[in-house]
Structure 1
């Protein structure tokens, strides 16, 4: 992804937190030379060696999995909040723009065996049921219901490269107070989230951990 230098976020801790909190991503590979994308949860995890990986699954009815070639590179996209920014909020004349947060991850895909798939599904359900009033657990589901697992393919992606774009009106720091005020006064929750991200960006640690 094209990222101007001043929009790059190389703080690994912050980017990991973003992925965890925005884990409904897009998995992209090639089918017969044509890009194919599926919108699915892609959870950040670690493999047996402690390396960062993404874990997910798709339906066998989705032909994408038939083109999962071991160790072929895939692209995963994670979208965060975004918002239109009116140039009427600037001190000086300029064109409007759009602020956003997005992360692209390139990695090598490996299909899971059934044991690893079930372990990842337990983690996935437990994560999102944690705050439920009546949480569901796969441990309590009948064998008949769990047979549906036969209809999915699980996979792991060894992370090779992370590209993180945090476009938050860098270079227009003099306009930040007005931009933040206007975003906070809007109804859109994504605008509020961008305002919060702009506030946090002022206090970023300069000693960032760089993912290589």
Structure 2
């Protein structure tokens, strides 16, 4: 990933929180060609020492290449959006603001018990805030028995982590205010989140 030095994120706490906040990742694995799947990925551990875990379907094209020790890439992406040059006080080049974390990993297949425990955690993570949550153990036993043989779970041990946040660092205050104003006025939910990210990164009050 290309990273201009001023956009690099090296803080472990930032990276850990980013992954937790953006769990829907792109999982890239090398087969006869590069293969990518979009899957929820959870993190276990702490900012200094963590594992990622996920699962894919047996009928996924990636499955045959899913082996202990295989190398893969997990891509986590935050809000992103186009910034028009017409929003600046002086003529400049239009750009795209975004944030992302790339984690190169080695894979280890989960046991059946580890897979079930991972699924329980996965469902609990996303169901806990629902009005009427349906947790993993609430599902019919027969349904689970039929579903489990169709998927495989795996651990991802990080070997290299790169993080970037390109959020108009170093721009004049007037331009920052104009950019965030236009993003706000768009009404688009992604642009609204991008506005918040820009404001937080640039410590705008």
TM-score normalised over the length of structure 2: 0.93
- What secondary structure sits across from 1:92 in the alignment? coil
- What secondary structure sits across from 1:102 in the alignment? strand
- What secondary structure sits across from 2:129 in the alignment? coil
TM-score normalised over the length of structure 1: 0.90
CA deviation vs aligned residue, 1:27-70 (integer Å, no higher than 9, x gap): 111112x10001100111139xx831110000001131211232
CA offset at residue 190 of structure 1? Answer: 1.2
Structure 2, unaligned runs of 5 or more: none
Residue aligning to 1:80: 78
Residue aligning to 1:116: 114
| TM alignment of 1:149-188, pairs within 5 A | 149-174=148-173, 175-188=175-188
Report the Cα distance in structure 1 between the residues aligned to 2:138 and 2:187, rounded to whole angstroms.
41
Structure 1, unaligned runs of 5 or more: 205-212
Aligned residue pair count: 201
Q: Is 2:63 the counterpart of 1:65?
A: yes
Residue aligning to 1:198: 198
| Structure 1 stretches of 4+ moved >6 Å | none
- What secondary structure sits across from 1:62 in the alignment? coil
